[in-house]
Structure 1
């Protein structure tokens, strides 16, 4: 009996901690746009404190040595392609998720769980599994699942549910099949020559295969441990009873996930929009292209699965699932407002990226960390570094290109396994997502929430999972030989 009471006390303690963090974030944390504004001038302050000039080299072709102003301007549009890709992921993912077949699947999944605590743990598990397969689809699919669970299940806390819908992006996504850093170093077409040269200095070949990164048994074990611990924490931090806030309490109006066909009268000229003929033809045309694309991809089909390919697959899948073009048009129109936060804020994050990347500030920060470490603690230090920098420059693929040369060069000097450092970097990068709202924007848009509503729960999850990651990467590093 005492054991049962002690377990209940521990559960209540963790839930109280999460609620305390949530109360703080709801009161003091700015919205996501405010976060990027503060982050911009925080980087300006750090730059000035380390001797970076306001105005420096104004060469538009320069990739380093710029002053803060010019670096900010150079970086502002550096993520414009990525911004469009993310907007299309939101729209395409939403269109797939609200199609009749997927909507029925989500409705069924939402009925699996019967209690609020189980619902929050279940959402966390689905988020991590789906993000392991593909982080882009996970952002939207799990958010819509969370909405549906909140709609059909009484007493579930909508804030905790929303936080767990995002959890995959803060834990295991980078160790999965769409992990950007691991895919880059495995492909000659994706990895810059400067990065390949550093890798070759340690291992003779300029590439690191996936079997040495995300498919290495040590990496798989770390991912599995993080998954189990995160689901357990999700169960324990779930508020119940009077402490739980429903979607209605937060001013969010939930409606069933359905894409019903309009019953309005049609003109003869509307036949094209309501006929499946061109849906079938276009999907066959797109499938033909994808087959050829993957057949001729360098480094294998897995390495060719980039954001453009994911978006094309989502659009074709959405068209097929909606069956009639008019239905897809309606779903896209409904999804477009959810992309507004990405369109506004990603360029500002690009400016932050520019100030860190093009002034040399990134290398300065890394140098501080490397000088403080040795071969034993280097993985943990880089995990911390990747996490800290990821708060301000939340773009794992582009950030890795800049940092990889000196992260891997230091690994060569310290005789630390190169592939393991990619794993460590990815785990730190993912953990940063629990502390800042950049990647939360698509999920928040679908949920109708603000960052402050869920970041108390993501912060509580960070306090458990990130120290665990640091311990695991340090311990498993000792089982690996250089390079």
Structure 2
């Protein structure tokens, strides 16, 4: 019954959901009208705010691009292909693939949401080897698996609260840092992790479409003429000149590549020895880059791998600035702050976690970045919580702020299932060479969103923090 309902929702999404770029345009206009009629900002101020924010995500967009192509290049290496061939000895059916992909994706995302790329690579390779996989549903499984990132080691809001001299302390909103024992180490967060890692794979299996013939990846590839069957080594050899040349010896030099890999490994070891488990985007990109160089052995093979990995990233390149523009309108017109104040104004000591959760989910549509969103709505929510908790012991107020902050993070992450911003992290890898779009995927995510919205809402309100 649940699976059949999921199929019906998917058909509705295919019928009514536009392309991801059109979604961004519609969202831009919606936020602009909100600033115009609710905040009372002039049209010119809205346009200026849109432009001012338009390029704020350029660095982030470039990081996303590099995460995608360096991760995908690793997957194109012979060593990884052999490893996945070995894995298929134990994972042989579509249901096992769906379950495994969701669970491993949740675990990887606990390290960093950038590791969603690894899940996407793994899922695509499994889909090439195992028959009967509904490929659009598998992409939905991969995308859903990123939900655990806000509970893990790279969760930006808890890490910000535990950072000395963060903007909340500088602004006088907080007096001191909030240790991660109140957030990432809280029973509420641990329960959320168990819920997602153990519960989400089972729920996705219950939603598996049963009444439609699945379109498999091999079938989709057969419909396209873009996918090359030539190996990277074969393509690299075509670049060589008919006669021996110094340029070819340099292009195929294992020693040159090994020297760069040695330098890279040295820095990676130095980074973690001096900075601890600091898994920021830059070190992850660098790690993926060095690992790719190691696996492909020669410079020219890595060039070919990166060329293939880069062939499907146009969506990220031109759509991220539009989301940055939306963020600019929310930030520079005061619309985001007004929305946070509205929701905080109706909160009570019993309901404030739910309103914080709701705020995180709603504002995420316009500011799909946990750190950026918290910079806009965090101060208003924290001030409201402090007012609600006036007269209570300091430790209790700190716990309330921690619960509200976690609630914003959970809401921000889950609402990604209703908008395709971070799906652009998955599509370049999983849709390479096939004609598949976000609207083919998003419908499978509505019911999981609704189920987890109810469960998480109850947990943020009633689950003890410690």
Pair in the same fold by TM > 0.5: yes
**Structure-to-structure mapping, 1:247-286, within 5 angstroms:** 247=217, 259-260=232-233, 262-264=236-238, 265=240, 267-286=245-264
Is residue 430 from structure 1 mapped to residue 404 from structure 2 by the alignment?
no
Is residue 103 from structure 1 mapped to residue 77 from structure 2 by the alignment?
no
CA, structure 1 residues 291+479, in 2 after alignment: closer, same or farther (shift >3 Å)? closer
- CA deviation after TM superposition for structure 1 residue 14, in Å: 0.9
Could you say which residue in structure 2 is the equivalent of 1:166?
A: 143
Verify the 8 A CA contact 1:111 1:149 in the aligned structure 2.
no
- CA deviation after TM superposition for structure 1 residue 146, in Å: 2.0
Could you say which residue in structure 1 is the equivalent of 2:5?
A: 17
User: SS state of the match for residue 305, structure 2?
Assistant: helix
Mean Cα deviation higher: 143-152 or 129-138: 143-152
- CA deviation after TM superposition for structure 1 residue 131, in Å: 1.2
The separation in 2 between residues aligned to 1:165 and 1:233, in whole angstroms, is 14
**Structure-to-structure mapping, 1:55-94, within 5 angstroms:** 55=43, 67-94=45-72
**Structure-to-structure mapping, 1:442-453, within 5 angstroms:** 442-448=425-431, 449-453=436-440
Verify the 8 A CA contact 2:68 2:428 in the aligned structure 1.
no
The separation in 1 between residues aligned to 2:55 and 2:446, in whole angstroms, is 30
CA, structure 1 residues 193+367, in 2 after alignment: closer, same or farther (shift >3 Å)? closer
Could you say which residue in structure 1 is the equivalent of 2:99?
A: 121
TM-score (norm 2): 0.89
Mean Cα deviation higher: 396-405 or 256-265: 256-265
Please tell me the root mean square deviation across aligned C-alpha atoms, in Å.
2.2
Could you say which residue in structure 2 is the equivalent of 1:187?
A: 163
Could you say which residue in structure 1 is the equivalent of 2:393?
A: none
Could you say which residue in structure 2 is the equivalent of 1:232?
A: 202
Verify the 8 A CA contact 2:112 2:279 in the aligned structure 1.
no
The separation in 2 between residues aligned to 1:194 and 1:69, in whole angstroms, is 32
Please identify runs of 4+ aligned residues in structure 1 that moved more than 4 A.
193-196, 248-259
The separation in 1 between residues aligned to 2:260 and 2:375, in whole angstroms, is 36
Match of 2:447 among 456, 460, 469: 460
User: SS state of the match for residue 39, structure 2?
Assistant: coil
The separation in 1 between residues aligned to 2:274 and 2:100, in whole angstroms, is 39
Q: Gaps spanning 5+ residues in structure 1: where? A: 1-12, 57-66
TM-score (norm 1): 0.86
The separation in 1 between residues aligned to 2:140 and 2:369, in whole angstroms, is 20
Could you say which residue in structure 2 is the equivalent of 1:358?
A: 332
Could you say which residue in structure 1 is the equivalent of 2:173?
A: 198
- CA deviation after TM superposition for structure 1 residue 196, in Å: 6.8
Deviations 1:132-176 (A, max 9, x none): 1221122x222222222222222221111110011122x211111
- CA deviation after TM superposition for structure 1 residue 193, in Å: 5.2
The separation in 1 between residues aligned to 2:323 and 2:465, in whole angstroms, is 38
- CA deviation after TM superposition for structure 1 residue 395, in Å: 1.2
Verify the 8 A CA contact 2:348 2:388 in the aligned structure 1.
yes
CA, structure 1 residues 199+331, in 2 after alignment: closer, same or farther (shift >3 Å)? same
Verify the 8 A CA contact 2:345 2:384 in the aligned structure 1.
no
Could you say which residue in structure 1 is the equivalent of 2:294?
A: 320
Is residue 402 from structure 1 mapped to residue 371 from structure 2 by the alignment?
no
Verify the 8 A CA contact 2:361 2:411 in the aligned structure 1.
yes
CA, structure 1 residues 147+101, in 2 after alignment: closer, same or farther (shift >3 Å)? same
The separation in 2 between residues aligned to 1:231 and 1:116, in whole angstroms, is 13
Could you say which residue in structure 1 is the equivalent of 2:403?
A: 420
The separation in 1 between residues aligned to 2:364 and 2:154, in whole angstroms, is 18
The separation in 2 between residues aligned to 1:22 and 1:173, in whole angstroms, is 25
- CA deviation after TM superposition for structure 1 residue 184, in Å: 2.1
CA, structure 1 residues 249+29, in 2 after alignment: closer, same or farther (shift >3 Å)? farther
Match of 1:440 among 420, 423, 442: 423
Deviations 1:30-87 (A, max 9, x none): 111111011100111211220332346xxxxxxxxxx211110100001111111111
The separation in 2 between residues aligned to 1:156 and 1:294, in whole angstroms, is 39
CA, structure 1 residues 372+255, in 2 after alignment: closer, same or farther (shift >3 Å)? farther
Deviations 1:201-247 (A, max 9, x none): xxxx2x22222211223311221113322111111111236443323
- CA deviation after TM superposition for structure 1 residue 194, in Å: 4.8
User: SS state of the match for residue 155, structure 1?
Assistant: coil
Verify the 8 A CA contact 2:203 2:448 in the aligned structure 1.
yes
Could you say which residue in structure 2 is the equivalent of 1:5?
A: none
Number of matched residues? Answer: 445
- CA deviation after TM superposition for structure 1 residue 474, in Å: 0.8
- CA deviation after TM superposition for structure 1 residue 110, in Å: 4.2
Mean Cα deviation higher: 257-266 or 115-124: 257-266
Could you say which residue in structure 1 is the equivalent of 2:192?
A: 222
CA, structure 1 residues 373+110, in 2 after alignment: closer, same or farther (shift >3 Å)? farther
Could you say which residue in structure 2 is the equivalent of 1:59?
A: none
User: SS state of the match for residue 112, structure 1?
Assistant: coil
Q: Gaps spanning 5+ residues in structure 2: where? A: 390-396
